Structure 1
């Protein structure tokens, strides 16, 4: 990603506050945010909360087509930020949901005649259709007073749109039907809880309210562009007693001082997918101030900050002073002199500012806190009493002289920033040897016998009297530890979960102005996680799982696999070492498998989950079946049929039109010539054969080929085959009867099974007008085609019926979607 480096961000922050009045700003990278959403999605399969049920419904038809959805399963929502803007009036996230299971059957419906299937699309977790929407986040302010859920509600989206067109409906029309469906879902199914906060307190760092916003990752000149849709979810946080800030300006590459994307670029050995910016105002005024007042004492307090909002804050003493003890200095060579602090005056060193001096101040310097104090305003009253021996036999007589001595105090100590990566607590450690200078001046009123050397001895005595007292007080001035837990885990946190661990794990801290914390988002909501190199696997293949996080410390891991729907028995096996073996056969084209790892850590049970999909092939193609008619009017390109293919490993598929008599051929997509995953089927001219099956075979390395079947019929259909409803489809059989469009039905039709649907499918001719089709034991091809013919050539009559398999699923068209009762789709 072309984000700014850590050094670039710190340089931009030096001496400034970049939170724009907010108490804290937390950023979550899009990639890790989606991983966390996926984890929430997987957890639902093993809980009583459930997940979005499959949809079996007929979409509202338009024109002569209607689309039937069978067992359509939607994946976890995924966020992207192509249209993201930090502008609070236009902040959006793009959200997509893949259609990862089921089928879409397109049926031609004409008045007065039986409907006919023209197209079958297979929905797999690879290259399938998508549903997209935008989430305008400006209407979802969050509050954490009391207990509060941070949620993502897929029914609140706008601009719903499908990336495919069926039944004559445009993408928006299809999308709006899904929006109506989502609005009627139970909250447990349509709402994804991204975090939970309760009334727990973290003193000054207790969140009170927040705004969720989004920002697209930057494009920096001279660097590789970011991944499409890359960006961040940002939380602008107000802490207890605080006030919301202002809208940061939209980042502008031409303005080096403008607001910036706050997640640093990954560096060697360090990955950054999250960050937190705690304002210097909060750091110094809310966190450090009360500790400093308590630890220093002696009436100290600090002035309110009166600088610009974008400058780093500082604590500057405006009251208080330190009392210092008196002392005596005895000097005797030819006589005896005693210099004594005048006990009649209160001897105090003032914290406040004097002319040209620096009051006791806590601020940022060299990207770390520093305590400064320079004062020369104190003049201490002294009385010098000197005894002069006038004669050895006469007692000495004292000579008393009064005066003041100016004392200069200079103190400076840095605090190194320390980060406990395990618990995310930031501490500040004093440098071992602080700098404390005490110096006396203005001794002129003393007697001449105090020559320079004697003054130095006097100053040294004064220093040794005052230094321990001052140093003892100042060396215990603390900068308190900062527990950032609640702020960092506003998203993806759940304090009620006994296995909850932190989402944002910090690895670096600095104080250029604000407190800047960087780290990596851990998608694991428990102490243990599991992962594999990929989430898709072909039948008969293996997939190695490994344990993540603290799971490496679990002595014994118990692995298991199951079907989350609870309907499939043969889901494969997994070894004690986490090696998954996919089943060698599937009754369906795709199987979801829930992988679970269980163990004990710190004498507590831990569990980790992952979801994978087993596919019959390493390739997904669409459509798997299409009916076409011969080119009669218009240009050949008006009849082009777009074909798509995706491979598990991302390799380029290989296309081949198997030999046929149709005269059809394949070409690259004229709109996307360099894309190996698409081809255009160009239909051949009218043929003497009434029915031809064109087979396009798609291959990928290391996997079984996948086929697309195209029924090319040369003559207009005037015969119709229909199910007469006399046989129950659950038996795997169907009674077909032929009808003519007009006139009496002859009794000598030729019925034939053009496409068998796999080995074992059979057509039992009952008479010249009826037959029983029996589906095969193996449903590898997933559909069958039965044709009817009477006569030949242009004077003949022709018809066909397409039977998606199994019959028990597809023989009865699902109920029509009803906008007045959209919730019916979840009860079917």
Structure 2
């Protein structure tokens, strides 16, 4: 990895421009932007403006398979820099699947049945990935999910299934309202110094070093780069990926942590400093703007306006002078006020006319003489910025008159015949009054802080702002600093933590604050208990698993400063079970193999086994090429059986926590078909089943091979356990045909029943 120290960056920038013709280049750290997107997501959740619950189905081309997705919730969008490029505005985006149920339904001889069911939660690790151009409008950088391309759902193993699922999510994004679909990533200021305003932005991405091509991961090691053209500037060019253009954010400084860099061209900081000073000091100013061949502002010529000068006094060796307020018009003389901009300096020329009323008396005397003189001015000033050697403020400026030029203020008329010495002292006073008026006006308006003030008004997603901690002028101006969360002067350290049901989590803030009040805010649609938090200490206790409304819940924890009212918020996700295994149930035939995956809250390795294996019937587990998974290989055909049911168990390293999944291995094609019967009169949580042999209804013996959940009557009425955490039920039907022996069939139903009307309706067909 190339050195990316502050010193190496400054050496690269020294004495030469690296702006490539742009007025501004802004680099924003990807990790900090993602924190902002997460904070923005929390705000959207609390306001009901998240992406909502995504449900739908898709047929897989050239197969008899339909996938049903139900209750999918997505986490915050996260920028990923695997394919970062300085030549493209596209970037990769990843949205973790927080929860949902996926079922693979296969149609066999016109009959639909569930072949696998996966219940996703935050531990499952599935993502929706996509490419998206970072859009801009004037001074804003926007993520619009409707512009998504190549949307994929990583849950699936085949590219075709991933793409078909992606189409479903893309259609969902396209239908969303603006407040749900759009994410304002950054906004450059449109108030304050008008010379700093942005006309357009082009966005690129850059990786900190060579990206590691690890699939299904979020690579935050990069930056979003804004190439900005100011209202008075020209567009530049883009560096090539192998052009030697450095990664702009220092990342190996042991003393300071940087997450943002902003570069301003020399031409821009000169325009911004001098041009804005003029607009502030003049009344009713209007200028003609003249651009050079590239489109940058080269000259401003006054069309109207004036400098209002307050009453002043002045003493010479013999007289005391006082003037009434007067005005120096920008037009009307031999040359209107004209400002010429160059990369390294600003030149002001002004040949004007004015009326100056004044009075004077001898020192010690009491008799005043009053006159109004008509004057003409021939003024020339130069303004330059350069690096400040002490390093205290980064740069300093100088307003001067070229030593080759004599500034003239000439009295054209208004004086009677007076002694020559008296006239000379009047000329001294008039010249002093004009020059002092200009210098006093510039002293209160001319500043080198235009860029630093501008930086504090840059808005970053999630309410974050920029703050410069190192300002310098190696050639163009460079500001290195941090992206800070705004809205509060403190932040909860534990951002979006995961916690197991019944466990405790200590929340803290950075910096540590006294007088905080901690509260919880449940999110709509969660159900069940949300846990408790100590109002004083910030210790959160998750609810017990049985008290939760599902396999996971999300709740907002809020720290409020009782003195200032400032708040910081984090999103807590509680897992009913610290281990997740998927698919929770799936079918295969003898001799086939299927994949399973599992995740644990602490990320430690899990122990896999087949629980209570039956010799000669059960399959085996082998290593998988999928991370965090195992491959199940079904055993050889077992005679005189329709099914072999294996329970796959995963345990933590201590053997305390566990989770199970099931593989139903078909030995022969089941001869009984089981279907739900449409019956709108049944109460919620019940479904009537009917078994068929060759299309003829039969009355089998019903059973639940995995001991529930719920119960089934011998009339085929299934009743679920309200509040169960299980996401499926396996139902078995056995009919004794006498002469032909016993026939078997099965049905997998998703739970809770009320959440899957579309799937259950499809199974009735």
TM score, norm. by length of structure 1: 0.69
SS of structure 1 residue aligned to 2:493: strand
1:233 counterpart = 2:224 = yes
Q: In structure 2, what is the Cα distance between the partners aligned to 1:777 and 1:291?
A: 72
1:276 counterpart = 2:262 = yes
Counterpart in the other structure of 2:578: 618
1:535 counterpart = 2:492 = no
Counterpart in the other structure of 2:621: 666
Counterpart in the other structure of 2:531: 572
Match of 1:753 among 694, 704, 708: 704
Counterpart in the other structure of 1:250: 240
1:621-641 C-alpha deviation (Å, 9 max, x unpaired): 22111112213xxxxxxx221
SS of structure 1 residue aligned to 2:183: strand
1:58 counterpart = 2:28 = no
Q: Write the mapping of 1:387-536 to structure 2, written as runs, cut at 5 A.
A: 414=389, 416-418=391-393, 428=396, 480-487=448-455, 489-492=457-460, 503-532=465-494, 535-536=497-498
Counterpart in the other structure of 1:808: 754
Shift in alpha-carbon separation, 1:249–1:214, aligned structure 2, 3 A: same
Contact 2:82 2:211 in 1 (8 A): no
Counterpart in the other structure of 1:315: 345
Q: Write the mapping of 1:68-83 to structure 2, written as runs, cut at 5 A.
A: 68-83=68-83
1:204 counterpart = 2:195 = yes
Q: In structure 2, what is the Cα distance between the partners aligned to 1:3 and 1:523?
A: 28
1:561 counterpart = 2:514 = no
Q: Which has the higher strand share?
A: 2
Q: In structure 2, what is the Cα distance between the partners aligned to 1:220 and 1:111?
A: 49
Counterpart in the other structure of 2:361: none
1:34-80 C-alpha deviation (Å, 9 max, x unpaired): 11011111101222x52211022222454222111121111211111
| Structure with the greater alpha carbon radius of gyration | 1
1:174-225 C-alpha deviation (Å, 9 max, x unpaired): 212221221111111111233456742224323333222222222499xxxx
Contact 1:695 1:710 in 2 (8 A): yes
1:480-530 C-alpha deviation (Å, 9 max, x unpaired): 323534446544279xxxxx6x52222222221121111221244443432
Shift in alpha-carbon separation, 1:730–1:275, aligned structure 2, 3 A: farther
Counterpart in the other structure of 1:108: 106
1:548 counterpart = 2:525 = no
Match of 2:687 among 724, 731, 734: 734
Shift of 1:121: 0.8
Shift in alpha-carbon separation, 1:168–1:482, aligned structure 2, 3 A: closer
Over the aligned positions, Cα root-mean-square deviation in angstroms equals: 3.9
Shift in alpha-carbon separation, 1:318–1:72, aligned structure 2, 3 A: closer
Shift in alpha-carbon separation, 1:489–1:27, aligned structure 2, 3 A: farther
Counterpart in the other structure of 2:675: 722
Contact 2:455 2:466 in 1 (8 A): no
Shift of 1:614: 0.7
Counterpart in the other structure of 2:650: 698
Shift of 1:285: 4.6
Shift in alpha-carbon separation, 1:796–1:482, aligned structure 2, 3 A: same
Q: Write the mapping of 1:181-220 to structure 2, written as runs, cut at 5 A.
A: 181-195=172-186, 199-219=190-210
Counterpart in the other structure of 1:401: none
Counterpart in the other structure of 1:655: 608
1:154-176 C-alpha deviation (Å, 9 max, x unpaired): 11111222224389953222212
SS of structure 2 residue aligned to 1:68: strand
Contact 1:26 1:488 in 2 (8 A): no
Shift in alpha-carbon separation, 1:218–1:733, aligned structure 2, 3 A: same
1:687-711 C-alpha deviation (Å, 9 max, x unpaired): 2443332111112257621111111
SS of structure 2 residue aligned to 1:33: helix
Contact 1:121 1:623 in 2 (8 A): yes
Shift in alpha-carbon separation, 1:3–1:99, aligned structure 2, 3 A: farther
Contact 1:751 1:786 in 2 (8 A): yes
Shift of 1:306: 13
Q: In structure 1, what is the Cα distance between the partners aligned to 2:211 and 2:675?
A: 62
Shift of 1:534: 5.9
Counterpart in the other structure of 1:143: 138
Counterpart in the other structure of 1:764: 713
Match of 1:640 among 593, 613, 619: 593
Counterpart in the other structure of 2:317: none
Contact 1:715 1:794 in 2 (8 A): no
Shift in alpha-carbon separation, 1:686–1:227, aligned structure 2, 3 A: closer
1:437-477 C-alpha deviation (Å, 9 max, x unpaired): xxxxxxxxxxxxxxxxxxxxxxxxxxxxxxxxxxxx99989
Q: In structure 2, what is the Cα distance between the partners aligned to 1:196 and 1:86?
A: 20
Q: In structure 1, what is the Cα distance between the partners aligned to 2:280 and 2:555?
A: 59
What count of residue pairs does the alignment treat as equivalent? 628
Counterpart in the other structure of 2:93: 95
Counterpart in the other structure of 2:354: none
Shift in alpha-carbon separation, 1:481–1:567, aligned structure 2, 3 A: closer
Q: In structure 1, what is the Cα distance between the partners aligned to 2:228 and 2:465?
A: 17
Q: In structure 2, what is the Cα distance between the partners aligned to 1:117 and 1:599?
A: 52
Counterpart in the other structure of 1:823: none
Shift in alpha-carbon separation, 1:175–1:541, aligned structure 2, 3 A: same
1:662-720 C-alpha deviation (Å, 9 max, x unpaired): 33111112x46xx5x12111111112443332111112257621111111232211201
Q: In structure 2, what is the Cα distance between the partners aligned to 1:681 and 1:508?
A: 57
SS of structure 2 residue aligned to 1:284: helix
Unaligned runs of 5+ in 1: 296-303, 321-349, 353-359, 370-413, 419-425, 431-472, 495-499, 632-638, 817-828
Q: In structure 2, what is the Cα distance between the partners aligned to 1:318 and 1:51?
A: 54
Contact 1:153 1:190 in 2 (8 A): yes
Q: In structure 2, what is the Cα distance between the partners aligned to 1:73 and 1:293?
A: 52
1:101-139 C-alpha deviation (Å, 9 max, x unpaired): 1211121223443x21111111111233221111134xx
TM score, norm. by length of structure 2: 0.74
1:308-340 C-alpha deviation (Å, 9 max, x unpaired): x9xx953387989xxxxxxxxxxxxxxxxxxxx
Counterpart in the other structure of 2:5: 5
SS of structure 1 residue aligned to 2:460: coil
